[in-house]
Copies of this chain bind each other. A is one copy, B any other.
Amino acid sequence: MEKKLKVGILGAGRIGRLHTENIIYRIPDVEVSAIADAFLNDDMIKWAKNLGVANITKDPDDIFKNDEINAVLICSSTDTHAKFIIDAAKAGKHIFCEKPIDYDIVKIKEALNAVEKAGVKLQIGFVRRFDHNHKKVHDTVKSGKIGDPHIIKITSRDPEPPPVNYIKVSGGLFFDMTIHDFDMARYLSCSEVEEVYAKATVLVDPTIGELGDVDTAIVILKFKNGALGVIDNSRKSNYGYDQRTEVLGSRGCVMVSNDTPNSAEIYTEEGIEKEKPLWFFLERYNDAFIAELRAFFDSILNDTEPLVTGNDGLQPVLIAMAANRSLKENRPVKIDEIKF
């Protein structure tokens, strides 16, 4: 099949590999021309070679300087995102960047400015917008079928906490996990967040508390369009990844449930059994990961606005900052209080 776009991958960790394989196996008109990872090891090289990727390098500049490459996927650690966005923009590459852009608003703004100046596309990796269920909620709200949104409700629970070493560098629950829900909140309400109140605690694992983080949280959001929102998070729903969304509007309500491996119901003397929700994000958002890349490449090929813009990358960071302050000071915090 004719390859219409050539891309370079920055970072060959779990998410970088996922995107690489999705392009190679599922997106036939795009070619992975190069992969760069500062911590390149034999495993990565073997993996990339087996996939038939021509260039494997430690140096990201090998990608930025490669004139054949149209776009980059930034899948490296968060602290490199802003810099790579700027480098890629300067090199005239379109950019797909994993969330979050950065924890520092100044750096985010610099990166967005570079993108704007260069006139390249930038899409942020808020993959849930491409999930068949959440998208249907959004589309239903947008269609007006349920009237004006009144209450946005997001259940978001991980099946198990990440390793302790990850917790240490994750930026905390709101930056690492809830940030996806903050994006969902904006996506489903079709509005911006104005004020945040976050209540959180340590119920799952005391080690998480010792590291200064929380594992169980409820966040109330006030939106500019007047609606209210609520998110509940847990680092451990041992029955699988729990990802449900719901919007109550002036004329009705739309809600979605979890995906399961199959629809079997087994009836016995003991009761009715069904399968648990899909285990985690790789299973649940498997198709959404492909759809988000497809959308990114289409926005390049058709020269249209990406479906998740740079501002969509910025706003959840502001909300996460407000949530952190709210948690620390046990009071509602307005997004406007977050200066930058």
Q: A150-B204, A239-B269, A330-B332 are in contact. Are A256 and B251 (CB under 8 A)?
A: no
Cβ-defined contact, B276 with A273, below 8 A? no
Count chain A residues whose beta carbon lies closer than 8 angstroms to a beta carbon of B: 77
User: What are the residues of chain B within 8 A of A74 when measuring CB–CB?
Assistant: none
Report the bound CA distance from A271 to B238 in whole Å.
10
Return the contact of A265 from the options B204, B237, B254, B269 (Cβ within 8 A): B254
CB of A263 within 8 Å of the partner chain: yes
CB of A228 within 8 Å of the partner chain: yes
CB of A250 within 8 Å of the partner chain: yes
Report the bound CA distance from A251 to B254 in whole Å.
26
Cβ-defined contact, A146 with B268, below 8 A? yes
User: What are the residues of chain B within 8 A of A148 when measuring CB–CB?
Assistant: 203
Report the bound CA distance from A132 to B228 in whole Å.
30
Report the bound CA distance from A70 to B323 in whole Å.
56
Return the contact of A237 from the options B201, B253, B262, B277 (Cβ within 8 A): B253
Cβ-defined contact, B137 with A264, below 8 A? yes
Q: A26-B25, A199-B222, A203-B227 are in contact. Are A264 and B136 (CB under 8 A)?
A: yes
CB of A116 within 8 Å of the partner chain: no
Smallest distance from the beta carbon of A103 to chain B beta carbons, Å?
25
Cβ-defined contact, B257 with A263, below 8 A? yes
Cβ-defined contact, B275 with A271, below 8 A? yes
Smallest distance from the beta carbon of A192 to chain B beta carbons, Å?
16
The A187-245 residues at the B interface (CB cut-off 8 A) are 197, 199-201, 203-204, 216-218, 220, 222, 226-230, 232, 234, 236-240, 242
Cβ-defined contact, A252 with B274, below 8 A? no
Return the contact of A228 from the options B50, B218, B226, B259 (Cβ within 8 A): B218
Report the bound CA distance from A2 to B47 in whole Å.
12
CB of A169 within 8 Å of the partner chain: no
Smallest distance from the beta carbon of A8 to chain B beta carbons, Å?
20
User: What are the residues of chain B within 8 A of A151 when measuring CB–CB?
Assistant: 216, 218, 232, 234
The A121-147 residues at the B interface (CB cut-off 8 A) are 132-133, 135-137, 140, 145-146
Closest B residue to A238 using CB positions: B269
CB of A261 within 8 Å of the partner chain: yes
User: What are the residues of chain B within 8 A of A24 when measuring CB–CB?
Assistant: 28
Q: A50-B1, A252-B267, A331-B332 are in contact. Are A199 and B197 (CB under 8 A)?
A: yes
User: What are the residues of chain B within 8 A of A228 when measuring CB–CB?
Assistant: 199-201, 216-218, 232
User: What are the residues of chain B within 8 A of A180 when measuring CB–CB?
Assistant: none
Residues of A within 8 A of B (CB): 1-2, 24-26, 28, 50-52, 132-133, 135-137, 140, 145-146, 148, 150-151, 153, 155, 157, 197, 199-201, 203-204, 216-218, 220, 222, 226-230, 232, 234, 236-240, 242, 248, 250-259, 261-269, 271-277, 330-332
Offer 24 A-B interface pairs, CB within 8 angstroms, sorted by A: A1-B50, A136-B264, A137-B264, A140-B264, A140-B266, A150-B204, A151-B232, A197-B197, A199-B222, A217-B228, A232-B248, A239-B267, A239-B268, A252-B266, A255-B265, A255-B267, A258-B263, A259-B263, A265-B274, A271-B274, A271-B275, A272-B274, A272-B275, A330-B332
